[in-house]
Amino acid sequence: MSLRTMLVVRKWVAMCLAMFGFARFARGDILVYETPAGSEVNDESVWARATFTTAADQVTIVLENLQADPKTVAQCLSGLRFTFSTGQSSGSLSSGSGVERTIASDGTYSVGGTAAAGWSLSVTGTEFFLTLLGTTTAPAHTIIGPPNALDLYENANKSITGDPHNPFLGLSATFVLSVPGVTAESGISSVTFCFNTSPGSEITGTPIPVPEPAALSLLALGGACLLIRRRKA
């Protein structure tokens, strides 16, 4: 291996390891849950994801609706239930926000600014319940999924294109919770996604594997080896 190649490889590996190490430090622990494949509410497909980032006394949740071109508001996200492996039984909602999206009768939409989500947090025993239902914001600000490939909500019925459900929160919303006692090592379980603007439309989530830093480091090493082979060719 030439000196130049060695220096390039060292720089590549150092950069990747630094990046992954920083990500590990900054992120705390990232835990992801999704609705199982084939999930339905009121005979309509739903697909949602919740990404939890735990740190000391704080949890950040990104709640996403991945179901494209929904037909009815029943496919929109309105809540999330979960518990902590470390047994927390108290907490508060520090902030919640999303970008407003208004759907017109012809399937087009307009994007507004970032707005307060207007959701609330309650804790019963060790179950945390983040919800839109029962707030003064409801029934607006459920989380709606993306449009179709033509950038239209062509499948939407009047429950989406009319009042009172507009404006929605487009694609996702981010919530920051203050939870005393939570650490980066706290696990999340009993995740349940809530849909619709009335209670009862709930789907139990399943955990999605997240690559560990060690695996990412191996990826960096593999990239360096590939770089060496290309320089030798």
Mean pLDDT of successive 10-residue segments in the chain (233 residues)?
49 46 48 95 95 95 97 97 94 97 96 96 97 96 97 96 94 97 92 95 92 50 50 53
What gap in Å lies between CA 208 and CA 202, rounded to an integer?
Answer: 19
Provide the 3-class DSSP secondary structure of residue 26: helix
| pTM, two decimal places | 0.80
Copy the structure tokens of residue 53. Answer: 């980032």
CB 221 within 8 A of CB 13: yes
Q: What is the pLDDT of residue 76?
A: 97
Q: What is the pLDDT of residue 29?
A: 84
DSSP 108: -
What gap in Å lies between CA 59 and CA 56, rounded to an integer?
Answer: 8
CB 148 within 8 A of CB 68: yes
Q: What is the pLDDT of residue 163?
A: 86
Q: What is the pLDDT of residue 41?
A: 94
The CB density around residue 86, as the number of other CB atoms within 10 Å, is 14
Q: Chain-wide mean pLDDT for the chain?
A: 85
Name the pairing type of β-strands 143-144 and 168-178.
Answer: parallel
Q: What is the pLDDT of residue 162?
A: 86
Report which of 77, 99, 100, 73 is spatially closest to residue 156, judged by C-alpha positions.
73
